[in-house]
Amino acid sequence: MFVSKLALPRRTFLRGAGTALALPLLDAMVPALTATAKTAAAPIVRMGFIYRPNGYIRQFWTPDKIGANPDFKRSLAALEPFRDRTLIVSGLANLEAEAKGSSPGPHSRSSAAWITGTHAKQTEGADVQAGISADQIAARVLGKTTVLPSLELAIEQNEQMVGNCEAGYSCLYQNTISWRNPTTPLPMETHPRVVFQRLFGDGGSVNEQRRQLATSGSILDAVTERLGQLSKKLGASDRARLDQYTESIREIETRIDKAEKRTADASVELPERPSDIPGAFEDHVKLMFDLQAAAFQADITRVVAFQLARELSPRTYPQIGVAGQHHATSHHGNAAGKINDVAKIEAYHIELVAYYLRKLRSIKEGDGTLLDSAIILQGGGLGNPNEHAIIDLANIVYGGGAGKIKGNRHIAYKIEDYTPEANLVITLLDRAGVPIDKMGDSTGQLKEIDI
């Protein structure tokens, strides 16, 4: 066994001009043959929340088999390699998304209620109100020792942040799933370059950081000498881990640069728009997933909220043969063709999530991987989209939760019992080391989650 004389603090940064590169967890951060070595392999729990909008098609999603070794139907087929870290939970309800006497606005209310368990106030103004969201509850505990308490990311946003977007409900309800407190919704960042600078830049505004990057080149170039000096002092496993991490950072940088260059070199006149978003939806999603993985790996944050798409999404998916807009198609009217198209979108989204799971599984940490220690909830605020149903939601929990979550299972709750979605959320918070007695309309933890 290599015994390193080097003792690095857990929060170690390599600094360069405009750069503060956090390091991944290395053995040298808990030196061998010390009292703390016994806890070197202790995993760090990360939490993620991934939102999918516009409901789902139950017949192609929910397994018929309850319990261990569930059948993965068409929409979930891409999860087969990760079934050991996949827990499917069906039958829960999002009852705070009910109208309760207000105007129709199911998409706005369902998004606002998903991980808050609260009823959104109907307003077109700035006086929006819902409840503190689970990611921010987690950030208050898990984010105490990280550079960023949490990250809030999205793929698409309606640039109209105020005013009416659905039956008298503010656009803010659809454009975020993260609430710092009942009256403070957090913006979801869609631009990879801005996210990258938040993670690895050091000081100044976003524009100042961009100018610095244009002058100095790669983030890694700014710390190359220090990386080389550090690498010489590390053991073989730490060197391999550091190389994997820096290669990942370099690849992300390269992809962002390519996306910007394609826009800059465009031969046709384009409307003004952010230049750092890849043109292809799939490239954008994968890049944002890679940024999340890097943030977890470097322990820059332990909590991420991610909107894969927003409610009322008008996106089309010609790359998978779906010409109609997602939201319009989801109201299928029981037409077989539209149902099939919605299922195609679901399967495509899951394939992209599988990419993320593969990435997390490839990153070693302690005696396991990032996927082994993560608790990631994927879900949405609606069930049957044709009816704007707020019951029988589609929830999947990914990761091992540092030994607290057992995968390869399907837990099914009776739809007629209206078990709150918030019960699942507070259960996962508890397993992540964030105990909470109540959130929104929760009535208690789900004991069936326990191993």
Domain ranges of the chain: 48-140+177-189+320-449
Q: Phi and psi of 26, rounded to 5°? A: -115, 155
Question: Is residue 312 within 8 Å of residue 107, measured between CB atoms?
Answer: yes
Q: How far apart are CA 276 and CA 253, in angstroms?
A: 11
pTM exceeds 0.75 for this model: yes
Name the stretches of the chain with pLDDT < 50: 1-4, 32-40, 203-204, 215-216, 263, 265-274
Q: Which of 354, 441, 446 is nearest to 398 (CA)?
A: 354
Question: Is residue 88 within 8 Å of residue 63, measured between CB atoms?
Answer: yes
Q: Which of 422, 374, 352, 304 is nearest to 85 (CA)?
A: 374
Question: Is residue 192 within 8 Å of residue 184, measured between CB atoms?
Answer: no
Number of Cβ atoms within 10 Å of the Cβ of 12: 15
Inter-CA distances, 190 with 114, 275, 285, 420, Å: 20, 11, 10, 30
- CA 182, 187, 188: angle at the middle one, nearest 5? 120
Structure tokens at 7: 């003792």
pLDDT of residue 207: 58
Structure tokens at 320: 């998978």
Q: Which of 95, 120, 94 is nearest to 105 (CA)?
A: 120
CATH no., domain 48-140+177-189+320-449: 3.40.720
pLDDT of residue 43: 84
pLDDT of residue 39: 41
pLDDT of residue 140: 97
76-95 burial: b if 16+ Cβ within 10 Å, else e:
bebbeebbebbbbbbbbbbb
Match 């202790």 to its residue by tokens: 42
